[in-house]
Chain A
């Protein structure tokens, strides 16, 4: 397979043809923040945290969906990108009700971790404080829409790893929300296989195992990548 050489943050790296900037940078040990990316499912470029600057274009490109090319020059961490990333996080925190102190994912939350990592120490926008409900109709899984950031990782996992096609997005704009089947209570879904892979995929405390209390919701996401790897490459490596 033809290899491409590119420069990321001043470092020359090489990557296989058709890989994304995100993959190439990760392989070279350069970290680009992400939220909607999940190893094992296709990328949608929705969270805009992985935006990078590429020489030759004035547009910012999402690293997870942009393929590398020969001689590409990428900047992943400029002042401007850092500022935009902090603002993106601020917007997410203001959108729904992210109260870490009472969240099952406290300490194991990607949103929280990114806020710490990127220095987002306060929110300058009005909290929208919407009234979203909790779907606790499933026997052992639950969904708290108040903590959802609409990354659609659960939707993609449900369709493309489990193949059940239970989860989907309904509504529009900030009123979008995750639904089961044709907007039915989770517990009444006829297609859900209760595999709980969606819970594994969730970056925040929105999807959880019932019975988990504050800070208990830990997830082993490598399980998802393991399944995909085994299926696609026939490699049963733990």
Chain B
């Protein structure tokens, strides 16, 4: 494979394109509402109408407006059909030759689409994720060629540093700094890991990227491997994502076949292989040290850091772990330059962020917006507010480790620092909207229950502290708790946060603490007056005098 070969594939692909393209979403969301059948029927209808020379029906990845799926978009007419059924397909084809269609249509000029800025999702919903030629036609693998043939590994790391890209997995650690640490770590064998163990309730960003544009992730990993000097990569993807797994398998096979992965990539001395590792359903395996233990075939439990994976990771070798979205940003940065990337976003948070909009909101789906976009723009303009026009009460970001941001802070720009200041986190990108009917204590209980169930059981505060916190919340919700219970709960939150071994435990109190911070009155309203004897008339044990 050379640059010439790559260009030939691209030219051939573009030359072979037909006049009209019907893009039919085949990502998990639309597939679950029968879009596979819609695609098959569209194919049949095209043949029946004798239009097969002019019309291509392309199965594509996520087209973002998931709530209105299955989606079919017609190019170049820019018509977006929503909630398409198999029976409505002949009518879509009839409309191509001038007929009128009264099928429900979405507005491609709505704020939901126009306010987006696609870098990571640029190919999502546009290319066929199961065909490498389609990715190459969209300038795919040019970035890898550019890095391998025109740049030193050090230069690649420097470019990522200059871009200001920060980890999209949640913590926001500067990606360039991580890469340079791994590059500098001594060792003949190094590894690259792509963390695709997305487990936050209501989050589906990584899944959509893998289903819609798997090659972007592979290319990002290959660039990273060249930069840090690794020759083996792993993608750790959860078993609950069968479609993402199958598309990754196809993508890896295709890239290997034409010499973009494997031995001597682009006829250079650079070798790079990628293997998949399938997670077995433990949320904690999204934590990097637990993930590595799992890749090694051990029980997926975290270990104390330092040593950080960059120094001693997989099988004690220097290891670079980045999230799916982080890797998916790399090809664009290499192609268009670090300066271009750094010009997007805010001072400390560069580029864009993909969010999965869910909950009590009209337009649920996937959005990619520049860092620093106010929450209000996302929720009210793009999301269309609460269905039925109810008032929005809070937005939960960061999944079970995140926090609730109340409506009065909706003008907060979305960036790492601003969200942290409000007691939440950017997280991986789950965004759950709550309206006025939501009980915030119940929300806290829900997320805490999730953390309690997903605790690995290794360290005491997370394993049993979350159980006791959950007890207190149940007691409050059952209107059986007193002010003293609330004090104990707050004390436990502080203890679990400060003493837990890994991020799961350290952030588990977030939903409780952030709802307490902004919605304390909802807790207070459920408390009962202090009694000196228990409800059964038995005096409760009082602490001994002098006890701490």
Contacts and interface: CB of A to CB of B under 8 A. Distances in A.
A83 B457 CA distance: 22
Contact of B460 (A92, A128, A171, A175): A92
A142 interface: no
A121 B544 contact: yes
Interface range on chain A (Cβ under 8 Å from partner): 35 or more
B331 to A, nearest CB: 35
A88 interface: yes
Interface-centre pick from B458, B461, B466, B501 (highest chain A CB count, 10 A): B458
Given A48-B499, A84-B498, A124 B488 contact: yes
Interface stretch (B158-166, B349-357, B386-394, B447-455): B447-455
Given A84-B498, A125-B471, A174-B463, A44 B458 contact: yes
A126 B500 contact: no
Given A45-B303, A172-B282, A173-B454, A91 B498 contact: no
Given A87-B492, A122-B547, A174 B304 contact: no
Contacts of A83: 495, 548
A79 to B, nearest CB: 9
Contacts of B458: 44, 46, 150, 152
B460 A48 contact: yes
Contacts, number: 105
A149 B458 CA distance: 10
Nearest to B499: A48
Contacts of B541: 122
Contacts of B495: 83-84, 87-88
A168 to B, nearest CB: 8
B457 A84 contact: no
B44 interface: no
Contact of B463 (A45, A66, A173): A173
Nearest to B547: A121
Residue from A65, A82, A125 having most chain B Cβ neighbours under 10 A: A125
Contacts of B460: 46-48, 88, 91-92, 149
A175 B541 CA distance: 29
A150 B457 CA distance: 8
B189 interface: no
B459 A84 contact: no
Contacts of B457: 150, 169, 171-176
A51 B498 CA distance: 10
Interface in B534-548: 541, 543-544, 547-548
A91 B468 contact: yes
Nearest to B484: A124
Interface in A139-160: 149-150, 152
Interface string B495-515: 100111100000000000000
Nearest to A88: B460
28 contacts: A44-B458, A45-B303, A45-B304, A46-B458, A47-B459, A47-B460, A48-B499, A48-B500, A62-B501, A65-B304, A66-B306, A83-B495, A84-B499, A91-B460, A91-B465, A92-B464, A125-B468, A125-B488, A150-B463, A152-B458, A172-B282, A172-B453, A172-B455, A172-B456, A173-B454, A173-B456, A174-B457, A176-B456
Interface of B: 282, 299, 303-304, 306, 452-461, 463-468, 471, 488, 491-492, 495, 498-501, 541, 543-544, 547-548
